[in-house]
Amino acid sequence: MHIYEVIKRPIDTEKTRAQAEYGKYTFEVDRRANKHQVKEAVEEIFGVEVLSVNIINVPPKKGRYGRRIVTRKPAWKKAIVTLSPGERIDIFEGV
């Protein structure tokens, strides 16, 4: 898998912005990717040194309108990447 396929998008929320202060950046990554691949991809793309990667499998979510109509949100994989102290990336500058 090519490294540009591994990382799909940065997650831009209040929480991730707060964590970015401490060098922790959050991405949606390909569901097949593992921590090593994420680390490699981030180091390559943003030119930074990655300290550690935490991965969370976000389960699919189902919602209902009324009794019948079921909506689904797919499952996805979230990776929180911790950079070496002093390193930073500008992931929130537009996508």
Partner 1 sequence: MKVTAERLENCQVELTIEVDEERVEQELRRAARRISKQRRIPGFRAGKAPYDVVLRLFGKEALYQVVLEDLTPTVFKEALEKEGIEPFAKAELVDAQFEPMVLKMVVPVAPIVELGDYRQLRLTPPEVTVSDEEVEAVLKRIQTQHGQWQPVDRPAQLGDQAIVDIESTVEGEVVFSNQERVLLLEAESLYPVPGFSEQIVGMVIGEDREFDLPYPDNVANKELAGKESHFKVHLHDLKELVLPDLDDDLARTVGDFETLDELKAQIRENLRTEAEREAEDRFVNEVLTATVERARIEFPPVLLERELDSLLEERDRALRQIEGLNLDNWLQMRKKSREEYRDELRPKAVERLKRGLALGKVVELEGIVLEDGEVEDQIERLSSAFGEQADKARDALSSPDNKRSIASDLLTSKALRRLVAIAKGEVEDEIDEEKELL
Contact at 8 Å (CB) between 77 and 56? Answer: yes
Q: By CB under 8 A, tell whether 94 contacts partner 1.
A: yes
Asked if residue 12 binds partner 1 (CB under 8 A), the reply is: yes
Query: Considering the complex, what minimum distance in angstroms separates the CB of residue 8 from partner 1?
Result: 16
Least distance (Å) between residue 21 CB and partner 1: 12
> To which H or E segment does residue 70 belong?
strand 69-73
Helix (H) / strand (E) element for 16: namely helix 14-20
Residues lying near partner 1 in the complex (CB under 8 A) are found at: 11-17, 92-94
